Amino acid sequence: MVLAYPLTNAQFLGALRVEEVTFRLSHPQEHTRLGDGTVISASLGASLWAGSIRLAQANHPRHAQMEALLGLMDQPGASFLCHDPRYIGPASDPTGSILGSRTITIHTVASNMRELRITGLPSGYVLSAGDMLAFEYGSSPIRYALHRIVVGGTASASGLSPLLEVVPNLRPGAVAPLPVSLVRPACKARLLPDPGYGSGRQAISRGASFDFIQTLR
């Protein structure tokens, strides 16, 4: 069976033995310093999630399985759903067990495109700074939005959150009532060129790693 892109968590990231990770928001920008000491900044493009992952050592057969996945993803056009593997759910609900099978949706998007409300939460559910949320929007292609909460809050008795400030800014297409994921929230990502396949000796292979960046298409 040929795998379809983007690969799911179970098909790629969840099938790897992750030892170390960086997961950050990249803001491409330039700075100009004026004679009076003023520094002017200008954006050079969309803010995208990026990072690096180092894989744990493994016996040769297990390492070969991970190498096969890296080889697949190191092809033009290959993509996968990428979440920060250090976290599964919000800080107040680390495994997502409180959320269970609830359907969470966007309720309101503020005009400043920096804040939104979500609904369908359990009464009193707490969303904290650092928690992440994701949703799909658009078509041809479907795009995957991933945002980190900067200012959180507590859901009302009816399950409505207060306005949550997020980074990066929300993009056009973020509208009610799109479904929202709070458990393993993910963006669509691609490997950057030349992943490291590591090396082996005796019964163990080690040192495999790769860099990735979000793609909006």
Strand partners, 108: 117
Q: What is this structure's pTM?
A: 0.92
Average pLDDT on 52-81 reads: 96
Q: Residues 129-163: pLDDT tens digits?
A: 999 999 999 988 899 999 999 999 999 999 999 99
Q: Where are the domains of the chain?
A: 13-83+188-214, 104-183
- Assess whether pLDDT exceeds 90 at residue 67: yes
Length of the chain: 217
104-183 carries CATH number 2.40.30: yes
Rg over CA atoms, the chain? 19
Per CATH, domain 13-83+188-214 is 3.40.50: no
